Amino acid sequence: MGVEIIGKQIASMRKEKGIKQEEIANYVGVSAQAVSKWENGGIPDTELLPKIADFFGVSIDSLFGRNITDYSDLRSALIKKICDTPHDERFKLVFNYCWDMERALMPHGDGIEKCSIEDYEKGIGTDEQHYSSVMQNDGFTRMGIANRSQYFLIVPDPQSTDDAYFHGIDYPAFFKDISDVDFWNACVYLNKRDYQKAFTTALFINKLGIDAEKTGEILSKLKKYKMVYSAQIEMDDEIQTVYHFIPTPSFIALLIFSREIIEKPEIFSYYNGDRDTPYIK
């Protein structure tokens, strides 16, 4: 297979992603006519190959139509790619990699249509939420693809679900606490507020419309779950107690998955339910 395959690979990848020749040209630093020439049998200069490969997010080997069979340094290459990506684009890049891994876990994953998250989002409404899930005996995944709430969860099956899920955890007490409307409202309010600002009991009394006794009860529960900590400061010639909120993404995860229990997902882009063992063993 000669070097002329490079132009065919560029044309194929460009059309697959719906990219114009001008976009490649601007990224690489050549004219659109040069890209057209490559696709019609021309050959890019050797020093341009790394940039062309970076543009498509593939290896230089892929430009020659070669399948990579040596994955020994794949992790290092992946880490470098993420680190070299502008900071404000990293989460988008990593989420696309999660999307690729999700499809690869599906049976016959190589045959699944290749498209980016951005491509997928264009095909559905801004208020829609599509899902994907792989449920096999060695673990499961759950993915919110677009657009309302995006996330990726992968859970390899633990050796013992008793140790992983139940050891030392009083779930009924937690759900009893969180079912208290005032406690729930306090959690939501604190997650909306600038967590770097300290507060006193007056905040809950004024903002949540609860009395001092209920405020003390809520703060006691928040401290129990290490969601707040208190400190003593001197103010107006007397010692006062102030509180600091400690945000955790686990609360957002709780919202995401509670919603999926309340409103069962119905639209799955990819779904594999080969699992025939219980989740709790």
Cβ(133)–Cβ(268) below 8 Å: yes
* Average pLDDT of the chain to the nearest whole number: 89
- pLDDT reading at 193 higher than 80: yes
Cβ(128)–Cβ(267) below 8 Å: yes
pLDDT value at position 277?
93
194: tokens are 């600038």
Q: CA 138 to CA 182: how far, in whole Å?
A: 40
The CATH 1.10.260.40 portion of the chain extends over 5-69
- Mean pLDDT of the region 251-270: 93
Q: CA 130 to CA 120: how far, in whole Å?
A: 10
- pLDDT reading at 257 higher than 70: yes
pLDDT in tens, 127-138: 888 999 999 999
- Mean pLDDT of the region 200-227: 96
Q: Kindly report which listed range (44-53, 102-111, 151-160) carries the lowest average pLDDT score.
A: 102-111
Return the CATH number of the domain spanning residue range 5-69.
Answer: 1.10.260.40
Q: In degrees, to the nearest 5, what angle opens at C-alpha 192 toward C-alphas 190 and 193?
A: 65
Among 126, 247, 130, residue whose Cα is nearest residue 196: 247
Among 57, 132, 71, 58, residue whose Cα is nearest residue 102: 132
The CATH 1.10.10.10 portion of the chain extends over 166-250
- Mean pLDDT of the region 71-80: 80
46: tokens are 């050797």
- pLDDT reading at 265 higher than 70: yes
Return the CATH number of the domain spanning residue range 166-250.
Answer: 1.10.10.10
The model carries a pTM of 0.74
Residue 207's contacts (CB-CB under 8 Å, 6 or more residues apart) are 189
